[in-house]
């Protein structure tokens, strides 16, 4: 794998962690917002923390799409799940959330899974390439004869 690909995977991890954390901070400051209250949701976007979170999540999505263009989903998702560990650490130390021992155990299992997946190939080999289906002749609009 190239440095660029590692950089994209790191971007997914960092941008999703930053986006989720900023979004959580902003929404905690706003309080309860109902999905049925469209004006409340639109006003929430004006909160600087929420807006920054959305920006980082858009950057995450761009990196995620890029990674999926050259690697399998079954590689990209686990390889970037280090973000779960980072979100838990930020949630605990910056947002002062209580994390139960059971949740910490789950996070540790995710981290162990990341290590096992990272050792594998990023793209699985396909035994045989399927040909693209041809469009039936009847489906093509007939030309008008003069």
Domain residues for 55?
A: 3-118
Is residue 39 exposed (0-12), middle (13-18) or buried (19+ Cβ within 10 Å)?
exposed
Classify residue 139: in a domain, yes or no.
no
Secondary structure class of 72 (helix, strand, coil): coil
Count up the domains in the chain and report the number: 1
Predicted TM-score (pTM) of this structure: 0.74
Whether 125 shows a pLDDT value over 60: the answer reads: yes
Residue 146 reports pLDDT greater than 50: no
Helix (H, G, I), strand (E, B) or coil at 32: coil
**Residue 86 covered by a domain:** yes
- Confirm whether 123 is domain-assigned: no
- Banded model confidence at residue 59, pLDDT cuts 50, 70, 90: very high
For residue 108, is it within any domain? yes
pLDDT of 30 higher than 50? yes
What ranges in 71-100 are assigned the alpha helix state H? 73-79, 82-93
Give domain status of residue 137, yes or no. Answer: no
Provide the 8-state DSSP code for 55: H
CA distances from 122 to 55, 57, 61, 84 (A): 28, 23, 19, 20
Query: In this structure, is residue 133 part of a structural domain?
Result: no
Domain for residue 95, yes or no? Answer: yes
CA atoms within 13 A on the CB side of 131: 3
Q: Give the integer Cα–Cα distance in Å for 88 and 111.
A: 12
Evaluate whether 86 touches 94 at the Cβ level (below 8 Å).
no
């Amino acid at each position: 794998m190239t440095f660029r690909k590692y950089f994209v995977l790191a971007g997914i991890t960092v941008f999703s962690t930053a986006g989720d954390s900023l979004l959580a901070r902003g929404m905690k400051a706003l309080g309860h917002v109902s999905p049925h209250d469209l004006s409340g949701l639109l006003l929430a976007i004006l909160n600087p923390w929420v807006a920054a979170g959305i920006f980082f999540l858009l950057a995450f999505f761009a990196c995620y799409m890029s990674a999926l263009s050259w690697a399998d989903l079954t590689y990209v998702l686990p390889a970037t799940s280090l973000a779960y560990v980072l979100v838990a650490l930020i949630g605990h130390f910056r947002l002062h959330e209580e994390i139960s021992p059971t949740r910490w155990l789950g996070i540790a299992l995710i981290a162990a899974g990341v290590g096992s997946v990272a050792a594998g190939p990023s793209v699985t080999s396909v035994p045989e390439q399927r040909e693209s289906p041809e469009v039936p002749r009847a489906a093509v609009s007939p030309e008008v004869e003069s």
